[in-house]
Amino acid sequence: MNILLNSYFVKTHRLEISITIIAIVLFLIYFLGAPHVFTRFPIYRAFMQSMPFFGIIAISATFVVTLGEIDLSFPSIVGITSLTFGLILTATDGNFFIAFALASALGMFAGLINGLLVTKIGIPSIVATIGTLYFWRGLVNVISQGSGVAIVDVADSTWHHTLFVEKLFGLIPAQFIWFIVLTALMQWVYRYHKFGNHIHFVGDNKDSSQMMGINVDNIKIIAFVQLGFFSSLAGIFTMYEMLYFWPTQGSGLMLTTLAAVFVGGTSVFGGKGTIFGTFIGVLIIGSLESGIVALGLSGFYVQFINGIMITSAVTIYAIIQRKKT
């Protein structure tokens, strides 16, 4: 047992192991408390359907949080890019390529603005992105005048609808497969690509990174831009699933997304994080609401238990970190 605890893998993956154990315990509780729900497939299908929408953003946001920065504007970026996607898809009578290109370009542009405000103007990211959070949501309201956009006529039963949200073998939603693929890809970039490497260095110590020849501003800007892109992607997935745009689209994503990143074990102080942890964080946060209701507790408990989960997870990580130093 001692050898196991002191092995290299365990030492370097403490966070990942802790979060996995928390998730297993949680699902055991679900399983024992509500076997009639959790021994059947539909609940898992529902999870696979709903988790990717905020999961994709959480994976991407892990890069920004590892930098020691935060982005609060992504819910509104989801809003404005979903609206753009819906309007253009309708206007072009279902031209996926134009709608996708423009919506994702707008997402990256929104990320670029965040990045420039933080690096070139020097506004702390928490403040800058509160500004852009309101800006993009405000623009959604002005353009949509408070009404929705239906894309059912131009999107339903198209090849792109199939590509984004159709169920594989009638069982596994396509968005979940995309989510897994993107998570694997981003994990690879995060750990083994020069960009991911630089993200860690900049988040660890900005001044040292600068002196080692890393272009700190560029790294931050790219991090915000990719988050803008993945926010637009999440928006497009939501559009295909719902076939409808509503002006508050995306605004519920803020807390679940950031909670998944922090529960996943990425340090608020920057320099250290894990994509795998965020993935497990998504499974935890994304399952809490249905899990709690299935256990027979009323929906009023959801926020309360969410609060317990987040607080205890970050407390455990803080203690693990302190032991290391």
Contacts with another protein, residue ranges (CB under 8 A): 8, 12, 188, 192-195, 197, 200-201, 204-205, 207-215, 271-272, 324-325
Minimum CB distance to another protein, residue 92 (Å): 33
Q: Determine the 3-state secondary structure of 184 from DSSP.
A: helix
| Residue from 291, 293, 288, 324 nearest 306 by CA | 288
Angle at alpha carbon of residue 251, lines to 301 and 96, rounded to 5°? 130
Other beta carbons within 10 Å of 101:
12
Nearer to another protein among residue 66 and residue 306 (C-beta): 66
Minimum CB distance to another protein, residue 119 (Å): 16
Minimum CB distance to another protein, residue 175 (Å): 27
Task: Output the CA torsion sign for 315, 191, 236, 125.
Answer: positive
Minimum CB distance to another protein, residue 218 (Å): 11
Minimum CB distance to another protein, residue 37 (Å): 41
Nearer to another protein among residue 144 and residue 278 (C-beta): 278
Nearer to another protein among residue 72 and residue 222 (C-beta): 222
The string over 48-57, giving b where at least 16 C-beta atoms fall within 10 Å of a residue's C-beta and e elsewhere, is bbbbbbbbbb
Nearer to another protein among residue 118 and residue 199 (C-beta): 199
Main-chain dihedrals φ then ψ at residue 252, nearest 5 degrees = -80, 0
What is the spatial distance between Cα 103 and Cα 92, in angstroms, rounded to a whole number? Answer: 13
Nearer to another protein among residue 167 and residue 272 (C-beta): 272
